[in-house]
Amino acid sequence: MKVLGGTGNAKLTEEIAKELGVELVLPEFKLFANGEQRIWIPKKLGGQQVILVQSLAAPVDTHIIQLLLLIDALERLGIKQLFLVVPWMGYSLQDKVFREGEPIAAKVVAQLLSSRNISRTFLLDLHNSAIAGFFEGPNTHLSTLDLFVDFAKRQDYSENTVVVCPDIGGLRRAQNFADKLNLPMASMEKQRNLVTGEVTTGRIHGDVSGMNCLVYDDVIMSGSTLVKTAQALKSNGAKKVICLASHGVFTKPIETLFADKLIDEVIITDSVEQRVAHKKITVLSVAKLLAEPISEYL
């Protein structure tokens, strides 16, 4: 059994190998002069079980092609079984058609990764759980819910605390989080311009005055929505705004999140590798969360 990965999240790949107690194989990644990727796996893996890890983070298209090339290379090496781990699935927010003429990009990517030679794909906190159905092969959709619940309990968020759902689409996710912590819940009204992508926040449903607000979501992209949410909460008397999100994509510099001093803390996982550390950001490891269900199939 071997573990290898692309360049999408090398640190997490290494941690998963450690959790499983198996050898980590390091492929060689180079570029041809015309910009095409050149990949080589310098290990004979014929007849072995292989776990392939790749987060589809920026540059997203590069990491998708890289993953497809790795899958083909492994197939040609004659491996026995291939297990694919995608901690963060790029294009997953494009899970439906908003305007005529748009693709369902999440489905396109899922079908690209649906090789008949993949025994099982492991996915983590998809933006919409229905995306798992776009994959043609068997898959396991894992949740970071308990990881964040355990973290919140260690911080003793018990008094004067409320869970906040930043938009109606994540209502069930936030409610499950609130129920496990035995906390009340509030929700935000949010509207998105389908052309520009700009988000406007509306009324807050629930009492947040004097409360520590745990804003629970699946992903932070640019962070602009989170900042507007924090602004609305603080304007309504919130004491602290703490954001917990499975995936920290951060398409803008992290400093922009804290520029207005509205957000007090951010907790994310390492599903997307963070190149820059920040004192107000805590990163939780998902290596064990991913390794445990994988081990059941080995």
Q: Which two tokens stand for residue 255?
A: 């400093």
Query: Which helix (H) or strand (E) covers residue 150, if one does?
Result: helix 145-154
> What span, in angstroms and rounded, lies between the C-alpha atoms of 268 and 289?
14
The β-bridge partners of 40 are 28
Cα angle for residues 115, 116, 120 (degrees, 5° grid): 80
Q: Which two tokens stand for residue 33?
A: 């002069």
Active-site choice (2, 18, 107, 190):
190
> What would the DSSP string read from start to end of 213-259?
EEEEEEEESSSHHHHHHHHHHHHTT-SEEEEEEEEE--SS-THHHHT
Q: Which two tokens stand for residue 61?
A: 């298209």
> What span, in angstroms and rounded, lies between the C-alpha atoms of 41 and 291?
22
Residue 75 three-state SS: helix
Torsional sign, CA 80, 294, 122, 38? negative
Instruction: Please say if 96 is a catalytic residue.
Output: no
Catalytic residues: 190
